[in-house]
Amino acid sequence: MTKKEEKALYDKEYYAKNKDKYKEHYEKNKEKKLKRDSDRYYKNKESILKRQRLYRKQNYNSKITKARIEKWLKKNPIKYKCYKKFRKALAQNIIKKRNSCEICYNSPTECHHEDYNKPLEIIELCIRCHRFLHRKYKPTHLNS
């Protein structure tokens, strides 16, 4: 018999002898123990779930964003190149924004490219005129 087995047997016998004591003790502390266990469980559960949610959210978002950008780049490589060149030219003061819409003189403005192969040839438009140009919205602000 190994020491481990000896101890197990001893524990078993000890338990058998003191069964009633144990039972009493167990019954006395059952509710307390259950409450403590469930408290611990729910506390951990919350933090585990929280961690899982956060992890999922972060990964989900970065995956989605990455996928979206990749998709957009594949679909619009010319636009992307144009945008990069345009931003660079703007940062280097090669081109300057007037911050006035070329149609309605509103501001702020966005830069519209008629030809994405000519990144420095821009038309400055306010958001609404710009959207209208892309035929997404009616230019309601030009009616009055």
Does 111 help bind Zn ion (rule: CB under 5 A)?
Answer: no
Does 82 help bind Zn ion (rule: CB under 5 A)?
Answer: no
Does 122 help bind Zn ion (rule: CB under 5 A)?
Answer: no
Does 101 help bind Zn ion (rule: CB under 5 A)?
Answer: yes
Residue from 80, 58, 82 nearest 71 by CA? 80
Query: Can you state the percent helix, strand and coil of the chain, rounding each to 5?
Result: 65, 5, 25
| Amino acid type, 121 | E
Stretch that binds Zn ion, among 25-33, 55-63, 66-74, 104-112 (CB under 5 A): 104-112
Does 127 help bind Zn ion (rule: CB under 5 A)?
Answer: no
Strand spans (E) along the chain: 109-113, 122-126
**Binds Zn ion by CB under 5 A, chosen from 112, 121, 131, 137:** 112
Residues in contact with Zn ion, shown as a per-residue x/- string from 12 to 41 under the rule CB under 5 A: ------------------------------
Does 129 help bind Zn ion (rule: CB under 5 A)?
Answer: yes
Distance, in Å, from the CA atom of 27 to the CA atom of 25, rounded to the nearest integer, reads 6
Instruction: For the chain, count helices (H), then strands (E).
Output: 4, 2
If the CB atoms of residues 26 and 105 are measured against Zn ion, the closer one turns out to be: 105
Does 126 help bind Zn ion (rule: CB under 5 A)?
Answer: yes
> The tokens 């003790």 sit on which residue?
25
Q: What are phi and psi of 2, to 5 degrees?
A: -80, 170
Judged by the rule CB under 5 A, the positions of this chain that interact with Zn ion are: 101, 103-104, 106, 112, 126, 129
